[in-house]
Amino acid sequence: MSEFKNYRRSQIAELRPVTDDEIELRQLITTKSQSREPISVSSEDLNNGSPKKGDMIARNPKNHKDQWLVAEKYFSDNFESID
């Protein structure tokens, strides 16, 4: 029996597209640039070729330094714009 349960998101999520610079420099993983905070990328996403076009960056609306990669497939399956 799994301990995981299904939950709906009750708040708005803040996301932006991965930039070309982040893809090229892979600064999502290893460095901190002057204009961006470090971004968490899971080993599973790294193994699947992320960061790449179509991936998104999510951030905690209460702490903008807390950012992580959301893979394109997960994003398209679970998010829609409200703007």
Write out the residue range of the structural domain in which residue 59 sits.
14-78
Q: Whole-angstrom Cα distance, residue 50 to residue 42? A: 9
Q: Does any domain span residue 73?
A: yes
Number of domains in the chain: 1
Q: Does any domain span residue 8?
A: no
Q: Whole-prediction pTM value?
A: 0.72
Q: Per-residue pLDDT tens for 26-51?
A: 644 544 444 456 788 899 998 999 99
Q: Per-residue pLDDT tens for 48-76?
A: 999 999 999 999 888 988 999 999 999 99
Q: Does any domain span residue 27?
A: yes
Task: Note the pLDDT of residue 26.
Answer: 62
Report how far apart, in Å, the C-alpha atoms of 79 and of each of 37, 58, 71 are: 23, 11, 11
